[in-house]
Structure 1
Amino acid sequence: MSAASTKKASPPDLSKIRRGPIVIALIIGAFVAILNETLLGNALPDLMKAFDVSASTIQWLSTAYMLVVGVLVPITALLQQWYTTRQMFLGAMILFLAGTVVAAVAPEFEVLLVGRIIQALGTGLMLPVMMNTILAIFPPEKRGGAMGLIGLVIMFAPAIGPTVSGLIMDSLSWRWLFYLVIPLAVFSIIFAAVYMKNVSEITKPKVDILSILLSTAGFGGIVYGFSSAGSHSWSDPEVYWTIIVGAVALLLFIWRQLVLKEPVMDLRAFKYPMFALVTVLMFVIMMTLFSTMTLLPMFLQGALLMTAFKSGLTMLPGGVINGIMAPVAGKLFDKFGPRVLVTPGLLLVVISIWMFTGIDETASTGYVITIHIIMLIGISLVMMPAQTTGLNQLPRHLYPHGTAIMNTLQQVSGAIGTALFISVMSNGAKDYLKDSSDPTNPAEAIKGMISGLHNAFWIGLFVAIVALIIGLFIKKTHPPEGEEGRMMGH
């Protein structure tokens, strides 16, 4: 960052700020936005019937959401230097509310899709603002606990999403998935309007349109390419060309950020070794998390023949325990630093995925719940402590860039992980049925699916072992010289 751009504005005075209400405002907003991301998963079969569309069309409700968030997040670093925290957060929540209303009253599929896209714009703006605000208002030694509270929401909301949507779908129409979110979003906006304060530095850097276009084409192409690989085959030109175009645009984007004086996404954050290491770790761990979240319901419904609601209930204990563990891990992080948490956490993830490689149609519900709990305890020990460690090493002016980089790569890794694991699973199932003596037999179809799942989990195990090796190098960080004194007047 050039000296010119850092001295334009003095940072806001944070010494008298009331942190509690700001954190509550962030948590309510995050809960509403993230809950909505998983509410729809269980309802897709019903929506296919309601709008009379195919599985590959309905998939767009999820793909478009990920796509918009993936494209928008890189630009948030720039937006946070132009608009106050309060403007960003309220803008994000109002967009989200507008999208929810559009989706709730949608007369046809296209309108529902537009509603989802507007919702995604709100979510994409909000997640980085949330992390950036925590970094700004808490000194390094208290950040773990605060990030843990945010972690509780980020993990708890997706955990209860499938169960809540299963309940709603069993007794009400799909529109209630949106109606119920509206009052929560309205409450969040009113609460934030009263309590949210500005905590960011407004420097109004130059806007480089070319960077924004390259970032959109790059991240958008990669997320879209991998997402559509789930419903198409890898040899489909639409899949590999979007990935190639995305990769080229991304390389050009990276090159441009390195030569610009005021980059849209300042990649100089990667000069800080612990931030770089944690970013790679988060990429790998999110691949594992997203793909397991996709594969497990398929196994529960396809092999154990559970209803959507029951599979949601089966995944609930893991999610609830993960939510409870996040603040605990945050407090432990503040006390002991990352190493005590991250290595054991990754070890638990490796053990749980290794256990998943052996499950079949004879597995009891209790056994599946146990493995899922082990995995999510592991993930809660890794996620927030590792992220906080990486971001703690950055100087203040790189906070918006650091949070934008991490959030973007998590979206991208989620798309890549889900596509990779689903395609491994479906190819494994096809190969099994090819050699089967009775491929039309439903029992054989279940065996084929399990064979494909095992292949996917073996790859997941390899990815988790890579994460474990990276995790061994993570250690406690401190902000650069001169930053600690400026934090909060400490």
Structure 2
Amino acid sequence: MTERLTRRTQLAILATALLSFLGILIETSMNVTFPTLMADLHVSLTTVQWVTTGYLLLVTIVMGASAYLLKRFDGRQIFRAAFLFSLAGAVMCATAPDFALLMTGRLLQALATGLSTPLLFEIIFTRVPKRQLGTYTGLAEMMISLAPALGPTYGGLFTNALSWRWIFWVIVPLIILVGVLGEATIRTKASRTAGKFDVLGLSLLSLFFAVLVWAFNAAGQTGFTSRSFWLWLAVAVVLLGAQVIHIRRGGTQLLDWHILRDRVLSLRLVTYFLLQFINIGASFLIPLFIEDVLGENALVAGLILFPGAMIGAIVAPFAGRLYDQHGLRRLILFSGALVLLGTGLFSLLTGQLTLALITLLFIVLRIGFNSGFGNTMSEASQLVPVANKADQNSLFNMMQQYSGSLSTGMLAAVIAAVGTGRSVRAATRLGSGLGFALLAGLALIALLAAVAANHLSQKETSATR
């Protein structure tokens, strides 16, 4: 690892970060379009939410294979594939005459994000000196966090003023420019240490992820007490058991699961997963609440999220610098406490929420999220040897994306399940209250996991002295 970054490496980081940024910009801009898409394409909420859930699910699957891909293919090859998928997906979505083609385009964009984001962190974790790791991870997170800051406003602006199709048309020239930049700067070489690809492992993991999300989709249609929900949930449990057996038998593996034997890393993964679950969940609930309960349009919903997401994005590099200087222990507690405070107040005050109060609480939530999220991954990268950094990168990115997919599917199911016999406004109000309560409970678990990891880390440090 070099002690100083070259300009080319800095531009390579910028190119991959921008491609990820564009993918997440579209993802977050779609949340405010749901009511419009439901009317234009004649689909229900449980169907239209697959624009986000299906996208995140496929991103998760691709990231699950990224440990193998990063060891097998050079960075430029991976970037080229991501660029082509992103461009083709944007054009397909912009011209889609129906939901099926829109969904196909979103899946192509999912392939792009699933390739570009692990590549971004692979460049950072292998090329950036340890003393600057938090800073560059923070800068990358800032770029990625700018997408949720701009996404709802960007999506609301075009949906309200022109058409949701312009969300995709506008980014086409930007994708081309990013592709040119990446082609000129990305030079990372694969280690060529990848063995045989674990087809069975990826298949089992993909089926488990998909079936679990589908179980909540069934709950949204028939309720959480329905036979359909419990049947799909049982299938998910069986698939998880099969995956565990496959891992224990050894042989070819999707990634080196042995890194999870490190209890500190496992607890950091729990916190990381739950922070993203809460982040995506809140970004899903708030626009629906603003539009369906408060009666505002998509543009207003996007503008309300903008201050919090922008402030959170600005916080990320400063939090990264604090991590480089002081470590994660206090920073992750600060992060967890703010996220718990934000979600707790959303839950307690659901019936009294106004646009101003939503703006304030979302600022609190995003400051907390961006203070700890990227730094948790930076810390995890330091807990594994160099040979396992691609495995850790793949695992964390995979679980980050799946948390978003599961969050959207689960919360959509809650709102749909309580909607029977109620108006859209009443169902969204009640479902949002339950959803915020769920997020607050998970925020408490994330904070407790952070406390436990800090305790174990301190014990291990004392034992080595």
Shift of 1:468: 1.3
Q: Aligned pairs, how many?
A: 457
CA distance in 2, matches of 1:289, 1:77: 25
Shift of 1:237: 4.9
Which of 296, 311, 318 is matched with 1:321 structurally?
Answer: 311
* Distance change >3 Å, CA 218–CA 363, structure 1 → 2: closer
CA distance in 1, matches of 2:448, 2:5: 43
Q: Which residue of 2 aligns with 1:177?
A: 167
Tell me which amino acid in the other structure corresponds to 1:155: S
Query: Percent identity among equivalent residues?
Result: 27
* Distance change >3 Å, CA 278–CA 227, structure 1 → 2: farther
CA distance in 2, matches of 1:238, 1:451: 23
Which of 453, 460, 463 is matched with 2:432 structurally?
Answer: 453
CA distance in 2, matches of 1:230, 1:397: 43
CA distance in 2, matches of 1:67, 1:335: 36
1:58-457 matched pairs, under 5 angstroms: 58-360=48-350, 362-425=352-415, 446=426, 449-457=428-436
Tell me which amino acid in the other structure corresponds to 1:368: I
Shift of 1:225: 2.8
- The answer (yes or no) to whether the contact 2:220–2:414 under 8 Å persists in 1 is no
Shift of 1:428: 5.7
- The answer (yes or no) to whether the contact 1:14–1:199 under 8 Å persists in 2 is no
Tell me which amino acid in the other structure corresponds to 2:439: G
Q: Deviations over 1:22-70 (max 9, x none)?
A: 2111221111111111222222333333333444433332232122112
- The answer (yes or no) to whether the contact 2:157–2:298 under 8 Å persists in 1 is no
- The answer (yes or no) to whether the contact 1:301–1:311 under 8 Å persists in 2 is yes
Q: Which residue of 2 aligns with 1:471?
A: 450
Residue 378 of structure 2 aligns to a residue whose secondary structure is helix
Q: Which residue of 2 aligns with 1:4?
A: none
Larger radius of gyration: 1
* Distance change >3 Å, CA 76–CA 230, structure 1 → 2: farther
- The answer (yes or no) to whether the contact 1:326–1:380 under 8 Å persists in 2 is yes
Q: Deviations over 1:63-113 (max 9, x none)?
A: 321221122221111111211122112211211111112222223332222
* Distance change >3 Å, CA 227–CA 279, structure 1 → 2: farther
CA distance in 2, matches of 1:407, 1:252: 23
Higher helix share: 2
Per the normalisation by structure 2, the TM-score is 0.90
CA distance in 1, matches of 2:322, 2:384: 21
Per the normalisation by structure 1, the TM-score is 0.86
* Distance change >3 Å, CA 125–CA 232, structure 1 → 2: farther
- The answer (yes or no) to whether the contact 2:208–2:236 under 8 Å persists in 1 is yes
- The answer (yes or no) to whether the contact 1:153–1:323 under 8 Å persists in 2 is yes
Tell me which amino acid in the other structure corresponds to 1:270: L
Tell me, yes or no, if structure 1 residue 50 matches structure 2 residue 40: yes
- The answer (yes or no) to whether the contact 2:5–2:127 under 8 Å persists in 1 is no
* Distance change >3 Å, CA 354–CA 131, structure 1 → 2: same
CA distance in 2, matches of 1:394, 1:223: 30
Shift of 1:124: 1.5
The root-mean-square deviation of aligned C-alpha atoms, in Å, is: 2.7
Residue 473 of structure 1 aligns to a residue whose secondary structure is helix
Q: Which residue of 1 aligns with 2:463?
A: none
Gaps of 5+ in 1: 1-11, 434-438, 479-490
Gaps of 5+ in 2: 459-465
